[in-house]
Structure 1
């Protein structure tokens, strides 16, 4: 079976940025439809992912993300401004996709961080779901995160995946 991949915008292709992380889980007994609402509604993130806080939308948008929506949240000690640039709900034979461009810090300074964070949620045969999250990052803070051992992004995103799966299982009960 062929698995789907993240769609990368120009300037954010892995290998051409200061930092890239990839985390994935495949679990039995859950579906993309059960995962989707937990990921597509950012206000729910802090309920299962402790590294996410103070989520809010701009322009009277939300509570579910949509392509073009601007929103804000805090993670890894960064106040992140973000704009959703991909939003496709899962459907039969089609994976769900959510992605956003996030940024923190003043443009043109060493403190500036720009990221593309993408998610892919797809049903697999045998009653399994695959959740893939990948992020590329640009700027001096990204270079510092890349050099850190253990990598806080790998560990943080794994916590996000584990929390997402745990919340979906809890909702199922």
Structure 2
């Protein structure tokens, strides 16, 4: 389902780079997007069948270590920012195992992802911090709480943009 959503949203586009959350990222999506001349970068879930087990296993790996896997069109990186925390990323943009010069030696793929991720990750982060959710076994209430959280975030974004516009307008 996630693949279909991304393909429908990118219908008619060419030459762009799509940044995906782990719900959407897959090898098949990357292949389909490449056929449409669109590249992709995104986090990927550990349980995807296309991932080699060497990338998902964290035993015996040092902190700040990176493992890369490459195909003709795709690149996957497994990075350990903390002990037993594994960050997995798939890209059709990158084709080399470049690391940053920083102390944590983050791969360039992760730095690219962090600079282009936007709405969904920010929404998830804000909603996780400031939420009206309550524990419930009733799924309509869970959907309602999520709608309130997303609506509150959208109202905040609109308010912030209006404030920025008014400050710009007053200064001209």
Which TM-score tier does this pair reach, normalised by the shorter chain? under 0.3
- Choose 1 or 2 for highest CA Rg: 2
**Structure with larger RCO (C-alpha < 8 A, sep 6+):** 1
Higher strand share: 1
Q: If the length of structure 1 is used for normalisation, what is the TM-score?
A: 0.25
